[in-house]
Amino acid sequence: MQLKRRKAGRVGRAISAISATLLIATAASCENSAVAQDFYGLDKAGRDNFGPGIAYTEFDGALLIYQEAGGRVQAIEPTANLAIHGARGQQLTLGAVADAVSGATPNGAVPSDRTQTFVTPLKPQGSSTTVTSASGGSTVIQLPPTPGQVASASLGRQYTTAPNTLPMDKGFRDHRAALTAGWSQPLGWISEIGGGAGFSREEDYQSITANVRAAKNFNSDNTTISLDLNGEFDSSFPFGGVPTGLSAMNAQFKPITTRHKTQLGFVLGLTEVMTRNWLMALNYSYDSQKGYQTDPYRVISVVDPTSGEPTSTLYENRPEQRKTQSLFWDNKLAFGPTVTELSYRYFTDNWGISSHTVEASERINLAKSWYIEPNVRFYHQNAANFYRAFLVSNAALPAYASSDTRLSRFDAITYGAKIGFRVSGRSELYVRADYYTQSGDGHPANAIGQLRGQDLFAGTKAAIVQVGYQWKFH
C-alpha cells in the first residue's frame, strides 16, 4: 500500500482536463434536455417514448367521416402524416389529405310559404357536378339566346324549393387533395428553426401556403418563445365564373373566371412548464386577408317590405379586407392517470365578429392499454356587421351583404369522446366521435310578414367520427 502525491504528469493532466470538459459539457446538456426526458426506454405503461437524441419516424393515419343532419353535407377524409425525427432535433414532416364532399348546402335564400325557383349555370358533362333531375332535384333549362354565346352555355340548371323549406342546392359535390411538407431543426443558439409549404387543390379552389418558424428555449427548457410567419395564396375559380356581388342570381357564365386572396399572418407563442404537472401555452395571432372572400355560390333574398315574400335573389358580397386577431390560452394538467386540457380562445376581426371558445377534455388512462377521453367545447360568436338574413326591396342596397349563418350570431356546442388502445409499445389505435350543434336566432325581431313563420337560422348539426392510428418506429 502506498499513497502517492507528485506533480501531475502529461497523461494525468490530460485526463484531468478532459474529465472537466466532459462534466461541464454534460452538465450543460443534461440541463438543456431535461434529465427525465432523456431517460430512454419504456415508461410505466410500457410505451417507448423515444426521446431527444434518438432518430425515429412516426406515422399517423386517420379517416374522418363527417355527416350533417338533414341530408346536408357529408364528407370522407383520409389523412396521413409522416414525421421523421433526426437524432439532433431535426424533423421532416410530410402530410397528405384527400377529401370527398357531397350533399346539399343552404344557398343563402330565406324560406318562403311559396315554391321558390333558382337558376344557376349548368356544369358540362364530365364535370363531377353533373346533376340529373332524379338525383339532384334539378332540371336543365334553355336560356334565352344571347348573341355570341356558345351553344352549351345557352343551357342552365334550375331547381325548386318546396314551400316552408330552407332553400338548398343539392348539386354540391367536390374533391380535394392536399399535400404539406415541413422541416425544422436546431441551429446555433436557436432551439428550432424551420419552414414548410402546402398545396391544396379542389375543383374550384386552389390554395398555396408557406410558413417559417423559429423558437428559443430558456430556463432549463421550461420556457419556449416562438414566432411563426404564415402566408397563403388562394385562387377561387367557381363553376360558372365569379358573379358580381349583389347582382341578380342567373344561369349565365360570368366573364371573370378567377379571383385571388392573399393572407399574411403571424403567431407569437409562449409555452411555459409551470410545475411538474402543469403545462401552459399562450398564443397571440394576427392575420391580414386581402382579396376575394365572398362565397361565389351563395345568394341573399330580397323580400317585399310588407309580405316578406322574396322578390329577387342576389349574389352575396363581402369586403375584400379582413384583419383578424386571436388570443389562445391552453393548459395541460397531469395528475395521476389523468391529463386534463383546458383552453380558451378570444377572436376578433374588423368585420365586427368576435368569438369566445372554451374547450375541455379529460384523458383517463385505464388499466394497461386503454384510455378514454371525453371532451366538450363551447363556442359563441357575434355577427359580422354586414350579415343580413335578407334584404328588403324598398331599402337601398348596402355595399356588402351576406346571409351566411356562419357570419351570424350563434352558439355552438360539441360533445364527444375518444377511446384509445395501445396496440404495442409503439403503436396506438383510436376512435373518437363528436356531435356538433349550432343554435342561433331563427326568428329575428326584424322578420317581416311570412318570414315571421319561418326558421331563418340555417345552422349546422353534424356528427364527426374519426379513426386513427399512430405508429413509431426506427
Partner 1 sequence: MEIPLTATLARAGRDYLGAFKAMATPCEVRVETDDAELGRRVTDAVEAEARRIEAKFSRYRDDSIIGRINAAGGRKTAVDAETAHLLDFASQCFDLSGGMFDITSGVLRRAWRFDGSDRVPGASDIKPLHKLVGWNMVSWRNSCLTLPAGMEIDLGGLAKEYAVDRALAVARAITAAPVLVNFGGDLAVSGPRTGETRWHVAIASVEKDDAMAGMLELVSGALATSGDARRFLLKDGVRYSHILNPRTGWPVKDAPRSVTVAAPSCVEAGMVATLAMLQGKRAEQFLKREGARAWCIR
Partner 2 sequence: MVTALVAAAACTACTAIGPRPWEKDLMARPEMQLVPYPLQTAADEHVYFSKEASSGGRGFAGGGCGCN
Q: Shortest approach of partner 2 to residue 450 CB, angstroms?
A: 28
User: Which does residue 313 touch among partner 1, partner 2, none (CB within 5 to 8 A, set by kind)?
Assistant: none
Q: Shortest approach of partner 1 to residue 335 CB, angstroms?
A: 13
Q: Does residue 353 touch partner 2 according to CB under 8 A?
A: yes
Q: Does residue 190 touch partner 1 according to CB under 8 A?
A: no
Residues in region 123-142 near partner 2 by CB under 8 A: none
User: Which does residue 368 touch among partner 1, partner 2, none (CB within 5 to 8 A, set by kind)?
Assistant: none
Concatenated DSSP letters of 160-193:
EE-TTS--EEEEEEEEEEEEEEEEEEEETTEEEE
Please identify, using beta-carbon distances, which residue of 223 and 321 lies nearer to partner 2: 223
| DSSP assignment letter at 48 | B
Residue environment code for 92-128, b if the CB has 16+ CB neighbours within 10 A, otherwise e: bbebebebebbbbbbbbbbbbeeebebbbbbbeeeee
Residue of the chain from 46, 57, 70, 88 that contacts partner 1 (CB under 8 A): 88
Phi, psi at 154, each rounded to 5°? -85, 0
Please identify, using beta-carbon distances, which residue of 23 and 87 lies nearer to partner 2: 23
Please identify, using beta-carbon distances, which residue of 102 and 271 lies nearer to partner 2: 271
Residue of the chain from 287, 304, 320, 455 that contacts partner 2 (CB under 8 A): 287
Q: Does residue 2 touch partner 1 according to CB under 8 A?
A: yes
Strand-strand pairing, 299-303 and 391-392: parallel
Q: Please check whether residue 457 is in contact with residue 106, taking contact to mean a CB–CB distance below 8 angstroms.
A: no
Please identify, using beta-carbon distances, which residue of 53 and 291 lies nearer to partner 1: 53
Q: Shortest approach of partner 1 to residue 191 CB, angstroms?
A: 13
Q: Please check whether residue 407 is in contact with residue 440, taking contact to mean a CB–CB distance below 8 angstroms.
A: no
Q: Shortest approach of partner 1 to residue 89 CB, angstroms?
A: 9
Q: Does residue 117 touch partner 1 according to CB under 8 A?
A: no
Residue 139, CA distances (Å) to 59, 71, 73, 158, 159 in order = 47, 20, 21, 5, 6
Three cell numbers, residue 268:
407569437
Please identify, using beta-carbon distances, which residue of 87 and 256 lies nearer to partner 1: 87
| d(C-alpha 165, C-alpha 111), whole Å | 5
Q: Does residue 367 touch partner 1 according to CB under 8 A?
A: no
Q: Does residue 7 touch partner 1 according to CB under 8 A?
A: yes
250 by Cβ neighbours in 10 Å (0-12 / 13-18 / 19+) ranks as middle
User: Which does residue 216 touch among partner 1, partner 2, none (CB within 5 to 8 A, set by kind)?
Assistant: none
Q: Please check whether residue 294 is in contact with residue 322, taking contact to mean a CB–CB distance below 8 angstroms.
A: no
Please identify, using beta-carbon distances, which residue of 46 and 398 lies nearer to partner 1: 46
| Of 44-52, 66-74, 174-182, 350-358: span binding partner 1 (CB under 8 A) | 44-52
| Of 124-132, 185-193, 280-288, 447-455: span binding partner 2 (CB under 8 A) | 280-288
Residue of the chain from 234, 239, 388, 451 that contacts partner 2 (CB under 8 A): 234
| DSSP assignment letter at 122 | P
Q: Does residue 327 touch partner 1 according to CB under 8 A?
A: no
List, in order, residues 6 or more apart from 363 with CB less than 8 Å away.
338, 339, 340, 341, 371, 372, 373
Total residues at the site for partner 2 (CB under 8 A)? 94
Phi, psi at 209, each rounded to 5°? -125, 150
Residue of the chain from 217, 285, 294, 313 that contacts partner 2 (CB under 8 A): 285
User: Which does residue 113 touch among partner 1, partner 2, none (CB within 5 to 8 A, set by kind)?
Assistant: none
- Closest C-alpha to 404, from 425, 381, 384, 424: 384
